[in-house]
Amino acid sequence: MNEYVIEMLNITKEFPGIRANDDITLRLRRGEIHALLGENGAGKSTLMSVLFGLYQPEKGVIKKDGEIVRIKNPNDANMLNIGMVHQHFKLVEVFTVLENIILGVEPNKMGFLQKKEARKKVLELSERYVLKIDPDALVEDISVGMQQRVEILKMLYRDNDILIFDEPTAVLTPQEIEELMHIMRSFAAEGKSILFITHKLNEIMAVADRCTVLRKGKCIGTVDVKDTDKAKLSRMMVGRDVEFIVSKDDAKPGETVLDVSHLTVPSKSHKNNAVKDVSFHVRAGEIVCLAGIEGNGQTECVYALTGLERPSAGTVKIKGEPIVLIGRKRNKQNAAELAKVKTILMPIRQRSKLGMSHIPEDRQKFGLVLDYTLEENLVLQRYWEPAFQKNGFIRKPSVRQYAEKLIKQYDIRSGQGPITTARSMSGGNQQKAIVARELDKNPELLIAVQPTRGLDVGAIEYIHKQLVAARDNGKAVFLVSLELDEVMNVSDRILVMYEGEIVGEFDPKATTVEELGLFMAGAKKQAVEGMVH
Amino acid sequence: MEQKKRRSLHIPGGTSILASLISIGVGLIVGLILLYALNAKAAGGAFISLITTGFRSSDKFAKVLYQAAPLIMTGLSVGFAFKTGLFNIGATGQYTVGAAFALIGAIQFQLPWYVCLLLSMIGGAIWGIFPGLFKALFNVNEVITSIMFNWIAMFAVNLTINNLPMMLAKYWGGAQMDRTANLAQANPGALIPRMGLDTLMKSNYMNISIFIAILFAILAWVILSKATFGYELKACGYNRNASIYAGITAKRNIVLSMVFAGAFAGVGGGLYFLAGTGQYTLLKQLLTAGFNGIPVALLATSNPIGTIFSAFFVSYIQVGGDAMQPDFVKEIIDIIISVIIYLAAFALLTRELLARGKQRREDEAEEAAAAEAKAALTADADADVVEVAADAATQEKDEVSKS
């Protein structure tokens, strides 16, 4: 039997203006977890798309068990037992979990769906690999973690034994990541081969056997994980030394920029409030981080601050100027008083003019108009400024000039520069574009929600430096993050949110990841600003 | 799926033009096959008249231009709304109201043509507000509202005209009970100026309406591609969430987009009926011109400048079709024209196929999603165009009898 299940030999794939894969060779052994590491736009996804039959390479061959195969489309890949969990899940939201798993390979008798049979097989698989799912829940109602389990079950249901995971941990909580690692190990132990695309070095060190590193479309090399370390890997990936710890001086906080008191935001998914009577403040020249496990009200809190959602009560001020002022009705007397106070709910554009910048959590949903070009996206928050429009007409030359400046300054890589469609850019560069746009607005207050999600170490280092630089320039930075490393590294003050309440405030120098974890999980609680009323 | 559909409606570039041309070619070939199947002997000659009549004589060419003008306007109406992510199937109602406003201004109030045209614009815009408001305030699907408003427009206009005796042909000594006055009799000043073009091209149909329509197309193009207003509108259409995030008031833009779309369709109605060659007939049927705006917009892939050419094509093929008589009966001709327009409106699908190569650079996530969406899109487009084609076939007659 051949040592390698899959061999991709000398693969070259070109796109207009860019050679995404340049003579790349990758060999996958039976039963190994093989990490594919590279910066954003290094060609990882392209290479996997070639393997999955989505792209045809210009040069090179793919061998399965030593024999040359041609993979013209994902069906061919499936025939060869190659399965893939995509970074953005491919699920039909209005179908149930079960329906999604069997989609495309539905067991049927004369055209009639045999759901019972399918259910049995799915439940067996789910039990065997400890992949907890509810087969009858609609995909739109389940958590991201469960959606990923559904994707994994899809591969298992099709008896795939070569499993590709495209940045599977980008959307998961630390606990879910732990679980996933465990599942991947059990697959490998069973003889399944796993290709694991990532740029998180910790995960590679934790789970992978070997690692192939790509840089700018070229293969830098394949190494045994046990013979290497994070620093070596990151040097291979980025081509230079990377600082993992952000070097920064102590914060010199000035006046309060963001002042939030008694903010309450109703939840869309359940009857309770998502954010419950929360109070905090962010001063100029400090980075305050809101930590917590996903889904504990951080998103709603940010939506209320930025104007995407209407809070039900509370006051929010930027530099003393109220942007939200909604009284809460407690009793009759209070109601009469409230009637005298005018409710304030400042429109988003006004907030932006007051100096608020927002790096949104979901870059494709909020951050970008994907069908607009890069330059059009870069002025999304500023196109109305006199610099970019005159008498209602866009000043294209100044937009172009501005875009070129930002592209250079922030190293945004794309196929065709300013006129590249945002949709065709890699996720990391899309994020860079948003960061560039929001930072260059020169805000008083920067609200950054998971600004480094899905980015490689080089880009993360860069964005962290930018956040610190903004702070040192006297800006107030409100960072929402799920990554504890980031929380500990970047922030000057940490607020932990659990079930819509702020349960603790910490100095990163005086706390530990373990302690934060306890608060994030709701095991501990301390009296803080927002709670003593 | 809705979102995917919107996206696929505006991919710029040369593939669009190529796709439109290929679609037209396929439509013509299928039309030719149909002709042979129906009457092999006459097919060749008929096909030649179909594709050459429009250019054969100046009066036929004048007719092509005359019919193209209102089609440009309704095409602009549909295309403009598409750009904002709205499907304005209500162009017919807006066209009807625009026509009524123009005619009432012309006959009842004896106003000059340019004021009447302005009135038609206002009438159409008013009719566009309603679906826009319902969509913006209550998130009612604009397709449903605008279909309702098509019928409301038709009956309201018929009712109004019926109750204004001066409007009817009979008041001015005409024989027919069921149509509006002949403008040449009632108010020659309301006729769109011909500026000698009629004698030049030896056709009563010829006036400056085609130039007015082209001006509006250029206006729409400028708004969409140069103005901040157009930037906002398109941002809303491509990604409503991102536009809200950027502080664009999406609701206002939805309403404004429908107002503009309505105004374009309204002017179409004004241009057609102020030519003086057609009289508004009080029938319980919707006017086809509005629906024909849909294939015109699709064929032009919503590009305002492309709309000029696609409207010209649709009009050209209609004039050519008339010339296939008496070898083929009117109904057959209607079917063949419908088939050609129907296939031509596949430009969208063709372009998706052509754009495949380009699309490759998108990440594979989009790739697979697009494949799914495309299947749905085709089904969708089919449904729409079938309806249009059917309408065109059944109502072509009435339109002709009116003129």
Q: In chain A, where are the structural domains located?
A: 4-238
Give residue limits of the domains in chain B. Answer: 2-402
Beta carbons of B365 and A376 less than 8 Å apart: no
What's the confidence (pLDDT) of residue B150?
A: 95
Contacts of residues A340-349 at CB distance under 8 Å and 24 or more positions apart, as own/partner, are A345/A307, A345/A310, A346/A307, A346/A322, A347/A307, A347/B247, A347/B249, A348/A306, A348/A307, A348/A308, A348/B244, A348/B245, A348/B246, A348/B247, A349/B247, A349/B248, A349/B249
CB neighbour class for A440 (10 Å; exposed up to 12, middle 13-18, buried from 19): middle
Q: What is the pLDDT of residue A275?
A: 92
By a Cβ cutoff of 8 Å, what residues of chain A touch chain B? 15-16, 45, 49, 52, 54-55, 74, 86-88, 90, 306, 308, 347-352, 358, 360, 365-372, 376, 380-381, 383-384, 389, 392-394, 415, 423-424, 426-427
Instruction: Work out the end-to-end distance of chain B between its first and last CA atoms, rounded to an integer number of angstroms.
Output: 41
Residue A403: pLDDT band (50, 70, 90) is very high
- State the smallest CA–CA distance between residue B234 and chain A in angstroms: 9
Task: Choose among B340, B245, B386: nearest CA to A369.
Answer: B245
At residue A16, φ and ψ (nearest 5 deg) are -50, 120
Chain A CA closest to residue B241 = A366
Q: Which residues, 6 or more positions from B158, have their beta carbon under 8 angstroms from its beta carbon?
A: B282, B284
A383 vs B228, B238, B362: nearest CB: B228
Residues in B touching A348 (Cβ below 8 Å): 244-247
Answer yes or no: do A90 and B365 touch at CB < 8 A. Answer: yes
Strand, coil or helix: A106: coil
CB-based burial label for B172 (10 Å; 0-12, 13-18, 19+): middle
The DSSP code sequence of A204-267 is HHHH-SEEEEEETTEEEEEEEGGG--HHHHHHHHHSS---SSPP-PPP---SEEEEEEEEEEE-
Q: Which residues of B touch A427 (CB under 8 A)?
A: 363
Q: Under an 8 A CB cutoff, do A49 and B364 touch? A: yes
Burial of B323 (0-12, 13-18, 19+ CB in 10 A): middle
Contact B9, B86 (CB under 8 A): no
* A25 band by pLDDT with thresholds 50, 70 and 90: very high
Interface test mutation site (partner A, options B231, B358, B362, max chain A beta carbons within 10 A): B231
Least confident of A1-15, A308-322, B258-272: A1-15
Instruction: Compute the average pLDDT of residues A385-403.
Output: 93
Alpha-carbon distance of A153 to A165, in angstroms, equals 13
Alpha carbons B282 and B14: distance in angstroms, whole number: 44
Kindly report the pTM of this predicted structure: 0.74
d(CA B314, CA B41): 26
Name residue A324's beta-bridge partners: A316, A345
Q: Which of B302, B359, B360 would you mutate first to test chain A, the one with the most A CBs within 10 A?
A: B360
Whether residue B245 and residue A367 make contact (CB cut-off 8 A), yes or no, is: yes
One-letter amino acid for residue A422 of the chain: A
d(CA A105, CA A112): 13
Q: Please, are residues A475 and A492 in contact by the beta-carbon 8 Å criterion?
A: no
Tokens 């009117």 belong to which residue?
B330
The pLDDT, as a whole number, for residue A518 is: 82
Q: Is the ipTM of this complex over 0.90?
A: no
CB-based contacts of B306: which residues, under 8 Å, 6+ apart? B16, B17, B20, B299, B300
In this predicted structure, the answer to whether residue A14 has a pLDDT above a threshold of 90 is no
Burial annotation B215-236 (CB, 10 A radius, 16+ → b, else e):
ebbeebbebbbebbbbbbbbbb
How far, in Å, CA of B151 to CA of B143, rounded?
13
- Residue A184: how many CA atoms within 13 Å on its side-chain side? 27
- Interchain proximity A365–B242, CB inside 8 Å: yes
* Residues contacting residue B79 through CB under 8 Å, at least 6 positions apart: B220, B296, B297, B300, B302, B303, B304, B307
Contacts with B362 from chain A: Cβ below 8 Å: 423-424
Give the pLDDT score at B356.
62
User: Are A372 and B362 an interchain contact pair (Cβ–Cβ within 8 Å)?
Assistant: no
Q: Are A273 and A266 in contact (CB under 8 A)?
A: yes
Query: What span, in angstroms and rounded, lies between the C-alpha atoms of A248 and A382?
Result: 31
Burial environment of residue A230 by CB neighbours within 10 A (0 to 12, 13 to 18, 19 or more): middle
Extended strands (E) in B257-364: none
Q: What angle do CA A321, A322, A328 make, to 5 degrees?
A: 160
Assign A75 a pLDDT band (cuts: 50, 70, 90): confident
Of B228, B246, B249, the CB nearest to A392: B228
Close Cβ partners of A85 (under 8 Å, ≥ 6 residues apart): A148, A151, A152, A155, A163, A164, A165, A166, A168
Of B12, B131, B74, B105, residue with least CA distance to B392: B74
CB proximity list for A346: less than 8 A, separation 6 or greater: A307, A322, A323, A324, A354
Shortest CA gap B175–chain A (Å):
52
Measured between CA atoms, how close is B11 to chain A, in angstroms? 8
Q: Assign A41 a pLDDT band (cuts: 50, 70, 90).
A: confident
How far is Cα B62 from Cα B319, in angstroms, rounded to an integer? 10
Average pLDDT over residues A313-322: 92
Which of A306, A366, A427 is opposite residue B241, by nearest beta carbon? A366
Please answer whether residues B337 and B101 qualify as being in contact, where contact means their C-beta atoms are separated by less than 8 angstroms.
Answer: no
- Give pLDDT, residue A491: 92
Beta bridge partner(s), residue A477: A287, A446
The type of residue at A363 is R
SS3 call for A128: helix
Can you give the pLDDT at residue B390? 42
> CA-nearest residue of chain A to B357?
A15
pLDDT band at A331 (very low <50, low <70, confident <90, very high): low
- Tell me which chain A residues have a C-beta less than 8 angstroms from the C-beta of B235: 369, 372, 380
Distance CA A65, CA A335 (A): 75
Amino acid present at B214: I
pLDDT in tens, chain B (403 residues): 333 333 444 444 566 778 778 878 888 888 888 888 888 888 888 888 888 888 888 888 999 999 999 999 999 999 999 988 899 999 999 999 999 999 999 999 999 999 999 999 999 999 999 999 999 999 899 999 999 999 999 999 999 999 998 888 888 887 777 888 888 888 888 898 888 787 887 787 888 999 999 999 999 999 999 999 999 999 998 998 999 999 998 889 999 999 999 999 999 999 999 998 888 888 888 888 889 899 899 888 889 999 999 999 989 988 888 888 878 888 877 887 788 777 776 766 777 777 665 544 444 444 444 444 444 444 444 444 444 444 444 444 444 444 3
Distances (CA, A) of A319 to A354, A477, B68, B156: 9, 13, 59, 56
Q: Do B239 and A369 touch (CB under 8 A)?
A: yes
In chain A, what residues touch B228 (CB-CB under 8 Å)? 383-384, 389, 392-394
pLDDT above 70: percentage of residues in chain A: 95
Q: Give tens-digit pLDDT for A475-511.
A: 999 999 988 888 888 999 999 998 899 999 999 988 8
State how far residue B245 is from chain A, nearest Cα, in angstroms: 6
CA distance A70 to A8: 11
Give me the pLDDT at residue A241, please: 73
pLDDT at A6 over 80: yes
Asked whether the beta carbons of residue B367 and residue A54 sit closer than 8 angstroms, the reply is yes
**Which distant-in-sequence residues (6+ apart) come within 8 Å of A336 by Cβ?**
none
Question: Is the pLDDT score of A471 beyond 60?
Answer: yes
**How far apart, in whole angstroms, are the C-alpha atoms of residue B87 and residue B144?**
10
In whole angstroms, give the CA distance from residue A426 to residue A21.
14
Asked whether the beta carbons of residue B238 and residue A424 sit closer than 8 angstroms, the reply is no
CB contact under 8 A, B364 and A45: yes
Distance of CA A415 to the CA centre of its chain: 23
CATH superfamily of A4-238: P-loop containing nucleotide triphosphate hydrolases (3.40.50.300)
- What Cα–Cα distance (Å) separates residue A30 from each residue in A79, A117, B11, B115? 18, 30, 44, 80
Question: Residue A527: pLDDT band by 50, 70, 90 thresholds?
Answer: low
Whether the CB-CB separation of A359 and A446 falls below 8 Å is answered with: yes
Q: Which of A347, A371, A372 is closest, CB to CB, to B247?
A: A347
